[in-house]
Amino acid sequence: MTIPEKIEKPHVAFLPSPGMGHITPLFEFAKRLVIHHGFHVSFFVITTGASAAQNELFRPENLPADFTAVEIPPVENISSFFTDDMKLLTQLCIMVRESLKHLPSLLMEKRPKALIIDLFCTDAFEICEKLSIPVYSFFTASTILMAFSLYLPTLDREVEGEFVDLPEPIQTPGCTPICPHDILDQVKDRKNDEYKWYLLNVSRLPLAAGIFVNSWDDLEPVSLKALRENLFFQKIPLPPVYTIGPLIKQDEVVTEKDAEILAWLDDQPPDSVLVVVFGSGGTLTSEQLSELAWGLEMSQQRFILVVRKPSDASASAAFFNVGSDENDPLLYLPEGFIKKTEGRGLVVPSWAPQTSILNHPSIGAFLSHCGWNSTLESVIHGVPIIAWPLYAEQRMNATLLAEEAGVALKFSKDPGEELVDRNEIEKNVRIVMEGEKGKAMRRRAKELKESAKIALNSGGSSYESLCSIVQIWKSQ
């Protein structure tokens, strides 16, 4: 009797930069390869500056079989590399640079067929070239930002002065023009180190063996067509682009407190509740939080408001301490607000099970910072958006969602830079929750929800795109 030879599972590795907005999509991609395609995955975790939410995600009981979390040792005295005026992206890139000094030995030990990185881990290209390991990039933000980012080295050569001062919209080849004010924060000051880090990382994108995007054709048809067909991108030359989205958080740990939120939602009518969350890192100023609270009260709508300790210094103040900000919202909300909204509103401190909430039939709209993960979660659950962009590329996303996708309403002011008063908040909440425009946005969101399902299912565009690279890895 012949004993059948054990077939070894194909093995790939993942490497995200710090921050839940980067870790979550790569984590979901890795799980999909393990569960649906029979892969073994090594998931390299940068532990320097790890948040409570990150540590919770990588607990052994949260990982499927054949999914190995590999911790990269923390960088000693990381704060010695930082200065008081250093911006978030510069800090993040330094954390990555110093952490990746451990990567060669880890890769030699694991020997994966390929390494999938996010945008800020591009130091891995040089490391992997020496080890003959192909590197793929997972662009975790919108495709319109990816197209703009690929065009940025050309803009850098051809444009003098600041991009935000340009008199005309910025025309990325083949894409919808971008208002200079909407461009991501990291390229608004070309003298700052943050700009230099961003330019360095995006200029390395063409080195990838392939680029994964967390999107699909029906959500971003214009920029995806440009990437595939426009002569500019063909000349770079651009590696193969694989649309594999929307990948969102699938399995959310629901605590006892979270269960109380969902039970409260069970008692509300369908499409009647506005959920207000500013992502894993977003924070408001004290004055803006107060105006938001009174705008919600004046709107007379049902709502869930996730409250984080306000910061007058930075809109991304919570980026590195996600899930650890235990606080009492009563310390920050206006006096009398809780009493006036009792029964109609639910206030939650710091953190809520966003995916589970958006999936609830009682949710009628999402007041969101428009980070790409939150955007996809909203769209895949058929929920329209009131756009409240705060930092990074969120203004670009808000414009895309309002003007191209038709699922969002923007404020006349920029919430990241100007105070949005309670009257405008009340007006926009009523428009989306009660008005005809809100109903049209809800219909469009539900259309995209169905389209996303089709894209991800067998035979769909995202499913087939992923299968094509899976076959390449399996045949190597």
Max CA pair span of the chain: 80
Please tell me which residue in 40, 118, 185, 360 is annotated as part of the active site: 118
Choose which CATH entry (1.10.486.10, 3.40.50.2000, 3.40.80.10, 1.10.10.10) describes domain 256-453.
3.40.50.2000
DSSP code at position 342? B
Cis before 73 (ω within 30): no
Quick one: pLDDT at residue 317?
A: 54
Q: Which two tokens stand for residue 121?
A: 């881990």
Tokens (6 digits) for 172? 């990325």
Q: pLDDT above 90 covers what percent of the chain?
A: 86
**How high is the pLDDT of residue 319?**
58
**CA-to-CA dists, residue 430 to 25, 113, 272, 418, 471, angstroms:** 33, 52, 11, 21, 49
**What is the overall mean pLDDT for the chain?**
94
**381 classed as catalytic:** no
Q: What is the rounded end-to-end Cα distance, in angstroms, of the chain?
A: 30
Q: Do the first three CATH levels of 11-249+458-475 and 256-453 match, i.e. the same topology?
A: yes
Q: What is the mean pLDDT of residues 112-122?
A: 97
Q: What is the pTM of this model?
A: 0.94
Most confident of 5-19, 344-358, 424-438: 424-438
Structure tokens, 102:
């451990």
Q: Which residue did the predictor score with more confidence, 37 or 318?
A: 37
Contact 211, 237 (CB under 8 A): no
Q: Is the model's pLDDT at 5 over the cut of 70?
A: no
Strands (E), 281-412: 302-307, 345-349, 363-368, 385-387, 408-410
The pair of three-digit structure tokens given for residue 256, joined into one six-digit string: 């006892």
Burial of 194 (0-12, 13-18, 19+ CB in 10 A): buried
pLDDT class of 267 with cuts at 50, 70, 90:
very high
Active-site residue identified among 22, 360, 369, 381: 22
pLDDT value, residue 253? 78
pLDDT digits (tens, 9 = 90+) for 342-388: 999 999 988 899 999 999 999 999 999 999 999 999 999 999 999 99
Output the pLDDT for position 283.
87
CATH number, domain 11-249+458-475: 3.40.50.2000
pLDDT per residue as tens digits for the range 280-324? 778 899 999 999 999 999 999 999 999 988 888 766 655 555 555
Active-site residue flag, 251: no
Whole-number pLDDT of residue 7: 65
- Each domain of the chain, given as residue ranges in start order, spans 11-249+458-475, 256-453
Question: Can you give the pLDDT at residue 281?
Answer: 75
**pLDDT given at position 250:** 84
Which of 205-219, 326-340, 346-360, 363-377 shows the lowest mean pLDDT across its residues?
A: 326-340
Q: Tell me the per-residue pLDDT of 451-469, one tens digit each, with 9 for 90 and over.
A: 999 999 999 999 999 999 9
pLDDT at 383: 98
Mean pLDDT of 165-188: 97
Q: Which of 30-39, 241-250, 263-272, 329-338 has the lowest mean pLDDT?
A: 329-338
In this prediction, residue 234 carries a pLDDT of 96
Cis status of the peptide bond prior to 237, with omega within 30 of 0: yes
